[in-house]
Copies of this chain bind each other. A is one copy, B any other.
């Protein structure tokens, strides 16, 4: 029993990791991925309305902690996310995240949620949304290069959003491929374990790269990429971390979330600062063309943007009412008389 029952205005719904997983199962993971893609599409379509503050990063020798805020004028959201590559050797996550949504009109938080699971879902939903618009018509086979934490989410989102039938897995670590294949078993995809990157790309119209290399790596070389494919490049997402040979970038039409950020963090950090790119939201609104020919190579240089997190927070806010997948937290002080905070504290004397 609380000492003083706070008013409902002072309570903030909190979605723990456990409850996020329960919510995923309650909704159904494919339905949730499709729903997230819809929310992201809706927010990308009103791109110009958003306050696009750059992320605020605090760097140390071993990692980075970032706050990624944004607002559409009605809701305000931010994500806390860290990146510590050395964590895995101590049994910790490289990346953990949580997020908050608040009401712009009052400044009161309306949702606090884990975002490690949610970020995996929104990243996959974004990739699938983009591929749906840019991949060649009838694309049903994907090479999934890098079979780490994102790979199953990517595969399932492509199935849910654009009807992917076959995923061809490859990883430098065979155990990762086996793990992904095991996880994807029975989920309605034809799963093929491959022994090389080249093999994984046989017959694939979509090529997703999501490897964990920290240094400039060349996961894809120029001669590996044929005409007409869509490349979904997830892993090149911070300064010094890229996966594609520059020659591939030169041959591709490149689509990005937010150029200011992608030029620093994405594959295109390898190119001149004025290398032409298309902002994906303009494809969605019709302001810019997407795929224009069968022979074109389209490349989504994905780094993850605050608006995608915002869409994910909105989705969770809209889908928890009526469920038992959240806990009300007494996060905000709410004295009866706003001038009498001290009296509220005094009256809490045991």
Residue numbers of A with Cβ under 8 A of B are 2-4, 6, 9-10, 14, 16-18, 21-22, 24-25, 29, 51, 53, 56, 58, 60, 62-65, 67, 69, 71, 73, 76, 78, 80, 82-84, 87-88, 90-94, 96, 98, 100, 102, 104-109, 114, 116-117, 120, 147-149, 151-153, 176, 179-180, 182-183, 329-335, 337-346, 348-350
Q: Are B120 and A107 in contact (CB under 8 A)?
A: no
Q: Are B65 and A76 in contact (CB under 8 A)?
A: yes
Chain B residue at smallest Cβ distance from A63: B107
| Integer count of this chain's copies in the complex | 2
Partner of A331, one of B53, B88, B98, B341: B98
Instruction: Provide the residues of chain B in CB contact with A10, threshold 8 Å.
Output: 17
Chain B residue at smallest Cβ distance from A120: B341
> How long is the Cα–Cα vector from A96 to B344 in the complex, in angstroms?
15
Chain B residue at smallest Cβ distance from A57: B53
Q: Are B80 and A109 in contact (CB under 8 A)?
A: yes
Q: List 26 A-B contacts (CB under 8 A).
A: A2-B18, A14-B329, A16-B330, A17-B331, A24-B345, A56-B67, A60-B71, A60-B73, A63-B106, A65-B102, A65-B107, A67-B69, A80-B102, A82-B106, A83-B107, A84-B107, A87-B338, A88-B338, A93-B338, A96-B332, A114-B331, A149-B338, A152-B342, A179-B339, A179-B343, A183-B340
* In the complex, the 9 A-B pairs of residues with the closest C-beta atoms, listed nearest first: A82-B107, A116-B333, A21-B348, A152-B342, A16-B330, A149-B341, A96-B332, A148-B339, A84-B107
Q: Are A345 and B53 in contact (CB under 8 A)?
A: no
Instruction: Provide the residues of chain B in CB contact with A335, threshold 8 Å.
Output: 93, 149
Q: Are B183 and A330 in contact (CB under 8 A)?
A: no
Q: Are A340 and B149 in contact (CB under 8 A)?
A: yes
Partner of A179, one of B22, B60, B182, B340: B340
> How long is the Cα–Cα vector from A221 to B348 in the complex, in angstroms?
39
Instruction: Provide the residues of chain B in CB contact with A2, threshold 8 Å.
Output: 18
Not counting A80-B109, A82-B106, A93-B332, a sample of 19 additional A-B residue pairs whose C-beta atoms are within 8 angstroms of each other reads A2-B18, A22-B350, A25-B350, A56-B56, A58-B71, A63-B105, A65-B104, A83-B107, A84-B106, A88-B338, A90-B106, A93-B333, A96-B107, A96-B333, A98-B331, A117-B333, A117-B345, A149-B339, A176-B339
